[in-house]
Every structure is written in structure tokens, then in C-alpha cells.
Structure 1
Amino acid sequence: MKFGVCAKIDQAPVVRQAGFDFIECTVVSLQAEQSDAEVRDVLAKFRESPVSAEAFNVMLPGDLKIVGEQVDADRIRRYLDKALERVKRAGGETVVFGSGKARMVPDGFERERAEEQIVRFLEWTADVADPLDITITIEPLNRSECNIINSVPEADRFARLLNRKSICVLADFYHMCRDGEAYEGVVEHRELLRHVHVASAGRFAPAAGEDAFDAFAANVRKAKYDGRLSIECSWNRFEDEAAAALSYLRTVFP
């Protein structure tokens, strides 16, 4: 298993010092709607990073709606072309499709139509990601943050509807815990599981003594998952806590 942490590229030296295998940054930090000249310095930070940015989250800006009446297909496709190309240039291999604001179903909007729009968006995404060998992992979000794709089984269903090599599934402990989702779903849907996010139940760094996290971790091990796993959480003081959090994870996933 490879261990990473969600952080800004400016924090890469701390991530390296703490011993992580990779850093997980945001797609939006690559500013896909700006010209290459405008983001030259940003891209240089990724090229010069002491730890590789193998994974990216926050795939879409909140105002780039993919569900509802305000979907701008041309803007979405332009964004995907440039964003995933920059992810590849920055060293990324996995992109997390969470983006709750972008995929939120508006009040009164038909659920069936919303699902069709998400499938269409993922088709467009796969058209770009497949030739770049980038994996897109569908992230289930808890119901307080989004009203569609709220469980690992639901994410798996969408991935199977697409049946594209780049479209896979993510399991996030915090979201599963928040909604009381059965951790056994990690095992049941392990075939398409390609990324994992962890935190404590309170969304801080994972640490010993939390029964819910122990149950989640047991199912990750039972699934024989051996891919990338990132800490995605709030920190009191990142510089002081990161190494200890990684050390704990290495004992949980030996």
C-alpha cells in the first residue's frame, strides 16, 4: 500500500519529511480555465516537488455544474481536456470525483435525469482520461454534503454503468461513518476499488482507539486492498501531526 496525504503543493516539503509516499493535491489548483502562461509557476512547483503528486481531488469548481438546468457542456468539456492534461503533466495518476456542489441535484429536479447527466459527464471524462491512463475514482459523499452518490454500492453502480477502464470507485471512511454505511461494502465492491480516504470520525487525523475506524480498516484489509490511501482531514498543526498519523497507519495496514 502507498500512503499519501491531502495537502497543498506548497506543503510538499513537510509531506516528504513526514515520510509519505505521495501528496494528494486539488485539480482546481491547476487552474484549468487559465492559460498555460498564467499558471507556469504553479506547474513548476509540481515538477520540482520533493514528493510526487500522484493523486488529485476537488476535481471541479463548485460553479461548474454537471447536474441541473445550468449545465454548460462546452465549458465542461474544455475544462476536462485542460484539467486532466495538467494532472498528467503534474504526475497525477488518480483523480477523485467528489465535487459535491457541482453534482448536487437541485430541488425539484428529476433524479433519473440527474443520473443521466452524471453518466454523460463521466463518459466525457473517460474520453479524456482513458488515453492519458488516468484513473477516475467516484467518491461517495455523506448526505449532508451531497444528495447523490452517497455510498460505495452506489458509486460502484455508476462505474459499472460506464464500463470504462478509467472509471472506478473510492471508499472514504469519514463519509461512510457519518452516514452509518456498512463497512462491508468495501469488501463487496473491491473489484473496482482504486483509492481510499481516511480520517477520524471527527474528520481529524486518524489515531488509535477508535472502534469505527478499526472496523473500516479491517474491511480494507479483508478486501486485500493494496493501492493508494490518503489522509484527508483537518489538522491542528500539520507539521507536528503528520508523521505520527502516518506511523499509526503503517501499523494498521502493515
Structure 2
Amino acid sequence: MPYGVIASIDQQDVALAAGADYLESTVVGVLVEEDGEGGWRAAQVDPAHRVPSFAVFVPGSLRLSDPAVPIARIRSYLATALDAIAGVAEPGARIVLGSGAARTIGPDVPVEEGRRRFAEVVVAARDAARERGLEIVLEPLHAGETDLIHTIAEAAAFLDEHGIEGVKIVADLYHVQLEAEPFADVEHLAGRVGHVHVADSGRVPPGQGDWPLTEFLAALRRGGYTGPVTIECRWQDLAAELPDALAAVRAADPAAA
């Protein structure tokens, strides 16, 4: 079972040397950068190993849920970012669509209009990713980060409401805990989960806190999730802390036995 860590792609060698099976690269400011004219361009990167998953996909300044933002501008960013990702990605790599600031509807947009626009963006991202042999996965984020889609159950309902097929959901222990989403719901919806993030209490590395990592992963595995697990947390020293964090995740995961 693969276990990885989210970090900048220039940390790939450090992560692999510390025992990770893969690095999940961030995108904004790493694979794509501002071009100085209000747009974005691909950065020049050449990792030693192809990357199986990506996070921090959309800059907060690009309002995905605001119909006043031309959809052509959003599609242009998606094309630039996905081209950059495809240049370093494994075939079928997953791109996490979290980006809480970007997708926040805000008080100036009617809620239903914002939800419809975000659904349009999810479909556009899904289709553009498929054209490049990649996969978009939708991440619920706690209410402190966005006003749209906070739980796995809400993500499933949103996708169903808008008839969006072919998009799986991210199960992130950090957001599950902050939203107090029951593990029974996690297990029930695990068949719709396409990617997993974990951290410990306060987003410290796994093993340094007291969150129920074993129960979370057991619920996912009972529900049928068979994929990898990525650590997403705050590090004091990635190289020093990652080995113990990976050991804690493997010890907690029934699929690692």
C-alpha cells in the first residue's frame, strides 16, 4: 500500500529518502507561476520521478464560484495548470480540487448561482483532466476554509444534485474531524472516495497528536477504499519527522498488515 506526503516538488528526494512511497506535489507557485500580466504560466521543473497526485490546485485569487468571472478565464487557468501537471505526472494521476479560498462563494454572490458556477467548473476541470489522462477528485473543506462543501456527505450530495459523474471525493481526516463527520458516514461513502489525506490533531504529523487515525482508516477500508494515503500536515523538519509519521500511518492502517 503506497503512503506519501504533500510537499513542494523540490522536496521529492527528501521525502523518498525518508521512506515515503511518493510525493504529492503542490501546484500553485510550484508547477505554475504568475506571468506578471495577470495570468499564469508553467514553471520549469524536472523531478527525478513522476508524480501520482497533486494538491493546492487553484490560486485563491481566481474565484471559481463567481459567475462574474468569465468562464474562459477559468478554463485558461485549468489548461495551463493541467498541462504543467501532465508534464511531470504519472498516467492517471489525481488532482485534488480543494482550493477553499478560490471556491468560496462569499456574500456578494447568491448561493445557488455560486453553486451552479462551481458545478460548471468541476465539470470543466474533470473534462480537461481526462483529456490529459488525469483525474480530478473533489475535496470537502471545513467551514473555516470555505463556505461550500464541508463534508464527504455534502460532496456526494453536490455531485449528485448537479449530475456530475466520474468525480470521486477526497476523505481528509483534518476536515472530517473539524466538521465532526461521523465515521459511519465515512464508511458508508468510502466507495465514492478516490483519495485520502491524513494528519494528527492540530495538523501535526501523524503520531504526534491524539486523533483517531486507526478508526478513520479502518472505516475507509471497511467501506471498500483500497487506494493510497497521503500525509498533509505542518512540518518543523520534514526529513526528521517524516519517518516516524509514515510509521504511525502504516501502523494505523489495516491495509498495511
Which structure shows the higher strand fraction? 2
* Counterpart for residue 55 of structure 1: 53
1:71-129 deviations in whole A, cap 9, x for unaligned? 23121111111211221111150000110111111115322111101111011112211
Distance 1:122 1:116, change over 3 A: same
* Counterpart for residue 96 of structure 2: 96
TM-score by length of 1: 0.89
Partner amino acid, structure 1, of 2:65: V
1:27 lines up with 2:27 in the alignment: yes
Distance 1:40 1:238, change over 3 A: closer
Structure 1 vs Structure 2 CA RMSD? 2.0
1:64 aligns with one of 39, 62, 65: 62
* Counterpart for residue 163 of structure 1: 164
* Counterpart for residue 4 of structure 2: 4
Structure 2: any 5+ residue segments left out of the alignment? none
Measure how far apart 1:229 and its partner are.
1.2
Distance 1:218 1:208, change over 3 A: farther
Tell me whether 183-192 or 95-104 shows the greater mean CA deviation.
183-192
1:41 lines up with 2:44 in the alignment: yes
* Counterpart for residue 81 of structure 1: 79
Contact 1:57 1:95 (8 Å CA) reproduced: yes
Measure how far apart 1:187 and its partner are.
1.4
Q: Secondary structure of 1:41's match?
A: coil
1:145-186 deviations in whole A, cap 9, x for unaligned? 111100001111233334333x21001001111121112222
Percent identity (aligned):
31
Q: Distance in 1 between matches of 2:75 and 2:209?
A: 45
Q: Distance in 1 between matches of 2:165 and 2:238?
A: 37
Distance 1:65 1:40, change over 3 A: closer
Tell me whether 123-132 or 67-76 shows the greater mean CA deviation.
67-76
Tell me whether 83-92 or 17-26 shows the greater mean CA deviation.
83-92
Q: Distance in 2 between matches of 1:144 and 1:26?
A: 21
Which structure shows the higher helix fraction? 1
Distance 1:229 1:18, change over 3 A: same
Tell me whether 230-239 or 205-214 shows the greater mean CA deviation.
205-214
Distance 1:66 1:33, change over 3 A: same
Partner amino acid, structure 2, of 1:41: Q
Structure 1: any 5+ residue segments left out of the alignment? none
Q: Distance in 2 between matches of 1:32 and 1:77?
A: 16
* Counterpart for residue 129 of structure 2: 129
Q: Secondary structure of 2:95's match?
A: strand
Measure how far apart 1:133 and its partner are.
2.6
